[in-house]
Structure 1
Amino acid sequence: MLSGAIVASVLAFSTGLSIGFLLVAAGGGTLILSIIVLRYLFGLTHAELFGTAAVLTFVLAVALFLVRREERRVAIRPALWFTGPGLFTMMVTKLMPHDLTTRVRLALIGLLLVTNTLLSLILSKFLVRTRRIHHKRLAMMGGGVGLLAGYFGGNGAFLALPSMLMSGLPQNVAVSSSTLTIASFAFTSAIPNMVRASIDWRVLIPFLLGSILGLLITRMLFPSRNPSSRIRWITTVIVLAAGLFLLQQNWFGLYTPSLALYDGIKGGLRNEFTN
């Protein structure tokens, strides 16, 4: 049993190193990959899975935010315009009764990953660059993302990047500023899980240590410049593949409710027109 715990800790630490590298290479959006690692590599269940992921996302998003802050690439005011309404709608949504199974949540997170990656790619290439930042649009977008975060927890905040791009923020600023939103949403999700003790600390602690070390090592390798575009493209492909993997593994979770809804509507219409 002791050897198994040591192997799990080493595995968590090693995986964390990779996540730390991806954080610097592609920004906070890669934090959502931790869901896949925690679920399919360490086998965490529903309660521990999302609780552990929320704490992990919060700590690493704060670390990345501080790194970006040192580089003076974070726009605090636009980030607050986005995050404030988002937190409000997130808390309102959490008060509404909803109980999604692990399969459904993972399938929706996979869909979120694919959507977020494609939107970010399209918007960064084709959106007209402007110096004007639309604060009202930021607030509205933040509120919409907060509604999703009420169901997904901190994972819904990963749509912050394309939303900020659509609100006029330059890509490098949006990538950095979105980490504040991700950290805030993840912290809000982590608090109830910490109270309920729904966190696997044996996996979380070595994972965090490895991630922070990976982040620091990568910053040493790239002290005055960003990783190359080739690394960014490789990271984008990894994130997109991760989203497709989650969809493939959990599509049945989305398919079953949809099929039940279809059968219910079909049965109701048949009863209506035959009686």
Structure 2
Amino acid sequence: METAIATLAVGGLIGAVLALIGGGGSILAVPLLVSFAGLSTHLAIGTAAVGVSLNALLAVIGHSRVGTVKWPCALVFGASGMAGAAAGAELGKATEPDLLLSLFGILMIAVGGLMFRGRRLAANAEVRLTRASAGELLPRLLPLGVGVGVMAGFFGIGGGFLIVPAIILATRMPIAMAIGSSLAVISVLGATTAASYALSGLVDWTAVLMLVAGGTAGAAIGLQVQKRLAGRQKLLERGFAAAVVAGGAAIAGGLP
């Protein structure tokens, strides 16, 4: 009973964090599932991949309703990342679990540090992937999508901490739209990683149900908070960067 309640709470936290900052679900879920649900690291990664993918799908529905999802950009980014995620997952399953977490923590610190530097160009809320803009956007979206996909699959995560800054780099869209768009990508990449782990028998389906049940409530709360902060662009960007660095430091330092 206590394990079920703990897993529900983990799901609620995942849903809230995904809706609020567009990433971080798996990084939170994996160590918590290991600590409180007693799952092995690889089993926790596979279970988290399924749960985060489904919770991201729930969260993206809410973001879509308020117009913070750039679907063409997100779908192109997600499609290009699927092949990378499949390849990365195979590499990840063959890598020692503690090394996986430590490497990802180091990567998070690097990404967060780059985000603290801020934008060099103004945000463009009107960016759209069309025939006219394809020549400019596709050469950035496609390789970034593949690269993020490989890392997402390798580390067994949705990749939101990487997707959000990558989408901003490729399109210059505001962070609120990058967060909404990232959730669509997380759904795709997470499903690809989840399928790889599921085929290897590395998913606890009872825990997945608990994660999704908790995530439904958490996503609703996170979306409301995100809407309140949407007008404070710089605060949201710096808060996101701080969360990335702090999470990376905890993981690299051996968060249980």
- TM-score bin (small chain): 0.7 to 0.9
Q: Aligned to 2:213, which of 202, 205, 209?
A: 209
1:160, CA displacement in angstroms? 1.3
Amino acid at match of 1:186: G
Structure 2 match to 1:128? 121
| Contact kept in structure 1, 2:27 and 2:157, CA below 8 Å | no
1:209, CA displacement in angstroms? 1.1
Structure 2 match to 1:62? 57
Give the 3 Å change call, closer, same or farther, for CA 179–121 of structure 1 in structure 2.
farther
Pick which of 9-18 and 92-101 moved more. 92-101
Q: Does 1:104 align with 2:109?
A: no
1:90, CA displacement in angstroms? 3.2
Amino acid at match of 2:217: L
Q: Does 1:52 align with 2:42?
A: no
Give deviations 1:50-107, integer Å, cap 9, x for gaps: 1101101110111111111111111111112222222223335556797210011111
| Contact kept in structure 2, 1:23 and 1:31, CA below 8 Å | no
Pick which of 69-78 and 154-163 moved more. 154-163
Structure 2 match to 1:90? 85
Pick which of 106-115 and 177-186 moved more. 106-115
Give the unaligned 5+ runs of structure 2: 128-135
Give deviations 1:156-176, integer Å, cap 9, x for gaps: 464111111111232222111
Structure 2 match to 1:166? 169
Q: Superposition RMSD on alpha carbons, in Å? A: 3.0
Structure 1 match to 2:253? 248
Structure 2 match to 1:138? 141
| Contact kept in structure 2, 1:146 and 1:157, CA below 8 Å | no
Structure 1 match to 2:108? 113
Q: Percent identity?
A: 24
SS at match of 1:44: coil
1:224, CA displacement in angstroms? 5.9
Please give the alpha-carbon distance, in whole angstroms, between the structure 2 residues aligned to 1:99 and 1:222.
39
Amino acid at match of 2:12: L
Please give the alpha-carbon distance, in whole angstroms, between the structure 2 residues aligned to 1:199 and 1:35.
12
SS at match of 2:49: helix
Give the 3 Å change call, closer, same or farther, for CA 196–30 of structure 1 in structure 2.
closer
1:28, CA displacement in angstroms? 2.8
Give the 3 Å change call, closer, same or farther, for CA 68–158 of structure 1 in structure 2.
same
| Contact kept in structure 1, 2:141 and 2:170, CA below 8 Å | yes
Amino acid at match of 1:116: V
User: How many residues are treated as equivalent by the alignment?
Assistant: 242
Please give the alpha-carbon distance, in whole angstroms, between the structure 2 residues aligned to 1:235 and 1:161.
10
* Larger Cα-atom Rg: 1
Amino acid at match of 2:3: A
Q: Does 1:189 align with 2:193?
A: yes
Give the 3 Å change call, closer, same or farther, for CA 87–126 of structure 1 in structure 2.
same
TM-score by length of 2: 0.80
Structure 2 match to 1:37? 32
| Contact kept in structure 2, 1:28 and 1:64, CA below 8 Å | no
Give deviations 1:112-155, integer Å, cap 9, x for gaps: 33233333343xx3331254662211112112222323422334
Q: Aligned to 2:156, which of 140, 144, 153?
A: 153
TM-score by length of 1: 0.75
